[in-house]
């Protein structure tokens, strides 16, 4: 993500979200296209967030993304409850429409990948007839085949030959994220994202909920009206969300505040091991690690990444971790994964373990 250090992330229901608005997100997308830099955009809604709790590959696709935005009003409500500065829902459909509706001399070249039979082709034609800011440079419907079968050299070559700026994937969230992870290093497009519903909205096969319904978090009711088969999914998500809210998020609100009030938030230290070279890179966290220490944390993590070693994060003297620090630990773990390295948390105090558990992230870390 462009300006990664300037745009903070926060841990929310177990995932790291960037605190960005729709306009800021569109600027990041345009910057990636203009600079030809990689931007894997993930747009978790409540269903996406719930699925990531149980699917490690799905979760890993988020922590390895360059930009993660909150696409769901329940996420915004929970952020408000936790006092996190994630104020605006950034729906993938709103983002795509925003980029599409802005007239530009050099249009954003879009490739539609997936969707139900005939939908990608229809979206291709509709976009080219209606959009002042985008043009479809191609489409491909792989059908109901495996990820390997839709990732052949001929498929990837076809997409790259179309020279897209933005690959819009529509395969179902889990399969779509897996396909992106499987192929992102072979695809030349700077921006890639799974925006499953968008292809239907562009094609006109499904109508978007009215703005008022979206604002009050009732888009799911409209979606069920349009696609009745979704009701089971929304019911399951709602029940799981309530359980997380009652057993983890609400206790976290009070526990995090209690820990913060007991510590001096200005008294924190992030240290890199300066001893002679060892098998693993050692990072020590002491005191309270919050926003004020984020630059220090980023600098040390960059040193750790450049060492090309597994990393041990020592936390015996930790007093408090803020939600932005937890998010940074998650994304750092994703960066290590891309290098086939691991992170171990050593000697973290019981109160910090409790904080991680209430934040729905404890199972993401290896403790020693």
DSSP for 211-274, written as a single string: HHHHHTT-HHHHHHHH-GGGHHHHHHHHHHHHHHIIIIIHHHHHHHHHHHHHS-TT-EEEEE--
Domain membership of residue 263 (yes or no) is: no
Confidence at residue 236, expressed as pLDDT on a 0 to 100 scale: 76
Q: Is the pLDDT of residue 107 over 80?
A: yes
Same domain, 150 and 99: yes
Distance CA 297, CA 289 (A): 9
pLDDT score, position 3: 41
On whether residue 274 sits in a domain, the answer given is yes
Distance of CA 210 to the CA centre of its chain: 26
pLDDT for residue 1:
47
Look at residue 314 and tell me whether its pLDDT is greater than 90: yes
Lowest mean pLDDT: which of 5-14, 120-129, 313-322, 325-334?
A: 5-14
Question: Of the candidates 314, 320, 312, which has an alpha carbon nearest to the alpha carbon of residue 267?
Answer: 320
CA torsion through residues 286, 287, 291, 296, sign: negative
Question: pLDDT over 90 for what percent of the chain?
Answer: 79
Domain count within the chain: 2
d(CA 57, CA 337): 12
Task: Please tell me whether residues 204 and 298 are part of one structural domain.
Answer: no
Lowest mean pLDDT among 2-16, 303-317, 332-346: 2-16
**Contact 60/181 with Cβ under 8 angstroms?**
yes
Cα separation of 289 and 316, whole Å?
13
Do 335 and 231 fall within a single domain? no
The CATH number of residue 310's host domain is: 3.30.750.24
Last residue of a domain, one of 236, 256, 284: 236
Q: Give a yes or no: residue 331 inside a domain.
A: yes
Q: Which residues are within 8 A (CB) of 91 and not within 5 positions of it... i.e. 6 or more apart?
A: 43, 45, 71, 214
Q: How many CA atoms lie within 13 A of 271 on its CB side?
A: 13
Nearest to 294 by CA among 4, 24, 1: 4
Same domain for 228 and 272? Answer: no
Three-class secondary structure of residue 145 per DSSP: coil
Identify whether residues 224 and 289 lie together within a single domain.
no
Residues 210, 313: one domain? no
Both 216 and 328 in a single domain? Answer: no
What range defines the domain where residue 128 resides? 9-236
Task: Tell me the three state secondary structure of residue 158.
Answer: helix
Nearest of 333, 306, 312, 323 to residue 360 by alpha carbon: 323
Are both 138 and 280 inside the same structural domain? no
Give residue for tokens 């007093």: 319
Q: Is the pLDDT of residue 4 over 60?
A: no
Give this prediction's pTM: 0.91
- Indicate if 57 and 161 belong to the same structural domain: yes
CA dihedral 218, 224, 230, 232 (to 10 degrees): 80
Q: Are β-strands 311-321 and 9-12 bridged in parallel, bridged antiparallel, or unpaired? A: unpaired
Are residues 103 and 220 located together in one domain of the fold? yes
DSSP, collapsed to helix, strand or coil, labels residue 164 as: coil
Together in a domain, 111 and 228: yes
Location of structure tokens 């936390």:
315
User: How far apart, in whole angstroms, are the C-alpha atoms of residue 290 and residue 329?
Assistant: 12
Which residue bears the tokens 């096969």?
205
What would the pLDDT profile of 182-225 be if each residue is shown by its tens digit? 999 999 999 999 998 899 999 887 666 666 666 666 666 666 66
Neighbours of 268 (CB within 10 A): 23
CA-to-CA distance for 81 and 87, rounded, in angstroms?
11
* Model confidence band, residue 254 (pLDDT cutoffs 50, 70, 90): very high
Does residue 337 sit in the same domain as residue 216? Answer: no
Tell whether the model's pLDDT for residue 295 goes beyond 80.
yes
- pLDDT confidence tier of residue 80, bands split at 50, 70 and 90: very high
Rounded mean pLDDT, 118-140? 96
What single-letter DSSP state applies at residue 330?
A: H
Phi and psi at 184, nearest 5°, equal -60, -30
Q: What is the pLDDT of residue 5?
A: 44
The mean per-residue pLDDT over the stretch 23-45 comes to 96
């Amino acid at each position: 993500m462009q300006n990664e250090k300037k745009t903070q992330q926060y841990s929310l229901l177990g995932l790291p979200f960037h605190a960005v608005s729709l306009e800021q997100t569109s600027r990041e997308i345009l910057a990636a296209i203009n600079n030809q830099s990689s931007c894997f955009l993930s747009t978790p809604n409540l269903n996406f967030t719930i699925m990531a709790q149980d699917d490690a590959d799905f979760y890993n696709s988020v922590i390895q993304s360059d930009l993660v935005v909150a696409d769901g009003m329940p996420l915004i409500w929970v952020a408000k409850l936790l006092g996190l500065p994630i104020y605006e829902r950034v729906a993938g459909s709103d983002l795509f429409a925003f980029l599409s509706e802005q007239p530009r001399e050099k249009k954003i070249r879009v490739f539609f990948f997936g969707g139900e039979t005939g939908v990608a082709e229809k979206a291709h034609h509709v976009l080219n007839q209606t959009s002042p800011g985008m043009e479809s440079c191609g489409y491909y419907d792989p059908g109901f085949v495996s990820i390997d079968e839709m990732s052949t050299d001929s498929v990837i070559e076809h997409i790259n030959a179309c020279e897209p700026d933005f690959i819009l994937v529509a395969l179902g969230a889990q399969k779509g994220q897996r396909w992106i992870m499987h192929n992102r290093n072979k695809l030349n497009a700077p921006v890639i994202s799974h925006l499953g519903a968008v292809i239907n909205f562009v094609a006109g096969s499904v109508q978007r909920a009215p703005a008022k319904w979206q604002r009050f978090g009732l888009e799911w009711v409209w979606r069920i009206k349009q696609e009745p088969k979704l009701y089971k999914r929304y019911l399951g998500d709602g029940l799981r969300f309530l359980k997380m809210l009652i057993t983890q998020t609400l206790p976290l609100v009070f526990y995090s505040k209690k820990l913060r009030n007991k510590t001096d938030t200005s008294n924190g230290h992030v240290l890199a091991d300066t001893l002679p070279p060892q098998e693993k890179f050692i990072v020590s966290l002491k005191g309270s690690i919050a926003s004020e220490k984020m630059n220090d944390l980023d600098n040390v993590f960059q040193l750790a990444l450049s060492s090309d070693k597994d990393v041990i994060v020592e936390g015996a003297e930790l007093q408090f971790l803020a939600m932005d620090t937890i998010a940074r630990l998650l994304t750092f773990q994703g960066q290590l994964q891309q290098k086939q390295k691991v992170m171990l948390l050593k000697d973290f105090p019981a109160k910090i373990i409790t904080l991680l558990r209430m934040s729905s992230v404890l199972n993401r870390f290896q403790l020693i």
